[in-house]
Structure 1
Amino acid sequence: MKAVSRETRERLEIFAALLEKWNARINLVSPRDMPHLWERHIGDSLRLVPFIPRGARVIDLGSGGGFPALMIGIACDAEMVMVESDQRKCAFLREAARACGVRAQVVPKRIEQAGVPPAAFVTARALASLPQLLEWSAPFLLPEGKALFLKGKNLSDELTETERCWHMQHRILDNRAASGGAIIEISDIKRVE
């Protein structure tokens, strides 16, 4: 995991303790992932931090257990809009944002029904295939906005599939060869006519 300030580390520790407590009642992360929470979930989510300016407004789709939304909110002092349809997970997100001092709005709706104003950044992690992510993200992005997705080892295949129905600019920002995962930045999204 990348180095963070002492204050950020303390806030991340508050988050981790809260997640462990809540995970016993609702499934936020797989129980077998709990021993690897810091590297597999927190550290992975923190990989987005260098690409998001401090104080930015970010819409996170399918926020679930708070990854990457709350990590971005903590490390970037970002204003987070978290879209999550599971009411129990929404309760966790509200409590975790409060406990960790994250400026956050939790939208307890399906992504297609969220109806929030667009932002400069849209994020998602372990949510859907790239074509589906673009379908959901396009209405939430400002014209100059960027979508930042943490994707797995099938990214190349997903890009090929996506280019059939979407015009876009994209860059691979961070490629972790060991896990096969990457961060992809997408902008100038337009549906193929």
Structure 2
Amino acid sequence: MLARYRDLLTTETETRLVTFVELLATWQRTHNLVSPRTLDEVWERHVGDSLQLAPIALAHKPSSWLDIGSGAGFPGLIVAIVLRDRLETVGLVEANHKKAAFLRQAVRVCSLDNVTIHAQRIEALHADLAGHFDVVSARALAPLASLLGLAAAFLSENGLVLAMKGKEYVHEEAAASDIWQFDRILYPSVAEGDGTIAAISHLKRRKA
């Protein structure tokens, strides 16, 4: 899986990824951070899945990134590791305090000085971050219409939403299109057989 992203992975980056996965395995013994049945496939199911966002986003030359519902760091922390030298600011939003504590520890051990953990719901995120992020990402967080509603306030001008979705995406897009106007490019997931990554741009709420 990692071979697909060889041009993005330096020796230092790979070391940070290994450090992160080892930390995840340690915390998983006492905390339910990811589904236990996926831990043995963490490199493909979680790390590789998250890595797919990096080359898509790089075409837009982002300097700031917000990940909503980061959980155990997928995809946001993986992106922060891989794009550490390209992103000025990364925000990870996770309301579960145990998972937020894990993310803080991962940020420390991986030396990610540009990452901030927001241990709260996205709806409570500080208003001074509005319009601040070039990319807003989420992995299986909410139906697309709701996700776009959460992301819209924090997108910079010409910002990009990266939504990691399953086979339900087509139906979710139809519902979202009643509320939102947007352009999108769909990428088939190489980690999830029926998964889709929707790269959504020019997001605007339709007039009532």
Q: TM-score range by the shorter chain?
A: over 0.9
The 1-side partners of 2:192 and 2:70 are apart by 25
Which residue of the other structure, out of 171, 194, 202, is the alignment partner of 1:157? 171
Secondary structure of 1:96's match?
A: helix
CA shift at 1:5, angstroms?
A: 2.6
CA shift at 1:96, angstroms?
A: 0.4
Asked if residue 110 in structure 1 is aligned to residue 121 in structure 2, the reply is yes
The 1-side partners of 2:168 and 2:73 are apart by 23
1:95 aligns with: 105
1:138 aligns with: 152
1:15 aligns with: 20
Secondary structure of 2:34's match?
A: coil
Secondary structure of 2:153's match?
A: helix
After superposition, where does 1:28-177 map in structure 2 within 5 Å? 28-53=33-58, 56-77=63-84, 78=87, 79-102=89-112, 103-115=114-126, 116-117=129-130, 118-176=132-190
1:26 aligns with: 31
The 2-side partners of 1:65 and 1:177 are apart by 17
Q: Which amino acid aligns with 2:101?
A: A
The 1-side partners of 2:157 and 2:10 are apart by 33
Runs of 5+ unmatched residues, structure 1? none
Runs of 5+ unmatched residues, structure 2? none
Conserved 8 A contact 2:16-2:110: yes
Conserved 8 A contact 1:55-1:76: no
Aligned length: 193
Q: Percent identity?
A: 38
Flag the 1:130–1:88 CA change in 2: closer, same or farther, 3 A.
same
The 1-side partners of 2:135 and 2:206 are apart by 22
With normalisation by structure 2, the TM-score equals 0.87
With normalisation by structure 1, the TM-score equals 0.93
Conserved 8 A contact 2:185-2:198: yes
RMSD, aligned CA: 1.7
